[in-house]
Amino acid sequence: AAPSGARLQARGSTAESSWRASASLQHTSLGATSLAAGGCVALGCASLAQRRSRRAVRCAPRVLRHVVQDEQQFPPSRRSAGLAAAAALLPQLLLPASASAERLATLTEVDLAEAKGKVVVITGATSGVGLEAARTLVRAGSDVYVTGRTLAKAEAAVANITAGAGAGAGRAIPLELNLASLSSVRSFAKKWSSDVKRPIDVLACNAGLALGQDQKEPSYTEDGFELTVGTNHLGHFLLANLMRPQLSPTARIVVTASSVHDPSTGDPGSQAGLGNLSGLEVGHFGKGASAMVDGGSWDAGKAYKDSKLANVEFTLELARRLKQEGSKITVNCLSPGLIPSPTFFRNQSPAFAGTFAWAANNLLHISETTEFGGDTLVFMALDKGLEGRSGVFFSAVPPGQHVFMEKIPSPEARDETEAAELWRRSAALVGL
């Protein structure tokens, strides 16, 4: 296994269609949804050498700029027409190209031998990074509990994962877990302690969502919390705390975060920032009150980035608490890279989502595949170089370069005072 700080180069180059309809829910290193809103900036800075023809160099940036302007400035009917036209035009401007199915080069069979016999729980395992990680771990001999918002979704994912698994594979077991419902999280923890009764070796807090950039009003969880932070942060916060007694003595908790937690990444749009946490207080967060952690006005892109910042702060604060307790349980977080997919973009305009995914894969070359993303999660779960290490952040940067390396989280993410207060307010909101 590579040292924990090593660059993990990609291997393989099996071509797959950039329009492959694989269901995947991803967390991005550049923030796909905010790139959608600020696409005229992000798309305009692509390396000209990577464009497929002189005509593409002249025309593609203008087309994409108009796509974004249309998305932001005009009514839905006009948006749809403009986006559909751009989606149809772009493939004609550039020569065909396809994303490559890159995998982590150092995630070898020797590394995967560590998976044999492990008990793994993965949230958001019905698509994308979670699904691919579950597939790899099951084939390597782990028993993976595949959670989904509904049992039917989890069962469908299990059928996908186990197809062709072969001899020596572990099991994939479906369980229902809706992180947008505190009662569902509590039911899951109760079912585990009363029925499953197995020590967990890896708890992967991977599920997440992002709302559409043009969504003018917030959506809410079953408990009345803003949906993005309520699912991505509060749901996992409660789950990790309730499952602590079910973890093995040397278990790993892995949190899928994103590099967009850090404003220095240069991601377009409003930046992550929790302010003084004024919005995240009992009776003041959610329906009829503030939808933003910092108490500011509603901003769907910022809500996603804030949730990822909360993920990193939670990781680092839990690592400090575990160390103080003398526990050998570790907790680390990661950003698997920009993986544009139909599922991640399900709250965006379909025409824009398709255009952006095509451009990210073939024009800008800033994307990763779901297989690569799954491998990053498996690496965090198994790498021997991470034994005994806690509170570290790995990220797939630079974007589209198929490397995965340890990075220093943002200054705000490392603010211990803020993280302790975030913990206190989160605990009060979920009833701990």
3-state secondary structure 277-325: CCCCCCCCECCCCECCCCCCCCCHHHHHHHHHHHHHHHHHHHHHHHHHH
Helix (H) or strand (E) holding 255: strand 247-256
263 vs 299: CA distance, rounded Å? 16
- pLDDT at residue 415 above 60? yes
Helix (H) or strand (E) holding 187: helix 182-191
- pLDDT at residue 36 above 50? no
292 vs 401: CA distance, rounded Å? 33
pLDDT at residue 353, rounded to an integer? 64
* DSSP single-letter state for residue 386: G
171 vs 168: CA distance, rounded Å? 10
- Give phi and psi for 395, each to the nearest 5: -145, 150
- Give phi and psi for 25, each to the nearest 5: -110, 110
- pLDDT at residue 62 above 90? no
pTM for the full predicted model: 0.78
From its phi and psi, is residue 105 left (phi > 0), alpha (psi between -120 and 50) or beta? alpha
> Is residue 304 annotated as part of the catalytic site, yes or no?
yes
Residue 316 vs residue 77, higher pLDDT? 316
State the pLDDT confidence band at 202, using cuts at 50, 70 and 90.
very high
Question: Among the ranges 208-212, 381-385, 412-416, which has the highest mean pLDDT value?
Answer: 412-416
Q: Of these residues, 188, 192, 225, 304, which one is catalytic?
A: 304
Q: Which of 135, 182, 180, 181 is nearest to 157 (CA)?
A: 135
SS3 91: helix
118 vs 417: CA distance, rounded Å? 35
Give the position of tokens 């910042």.
309
7 vs 402: CA distance, rounded Å? 9
Token duo for residue 216: 């003018």
Token duo for residue 331: 């907790």
284 vs 155: CA distance, rounded Å? 37
- Give phi and psi for 201, each to the nearest 5: -90, -35
- Computed over every residue of the chain, the mean pLDDT equals 79
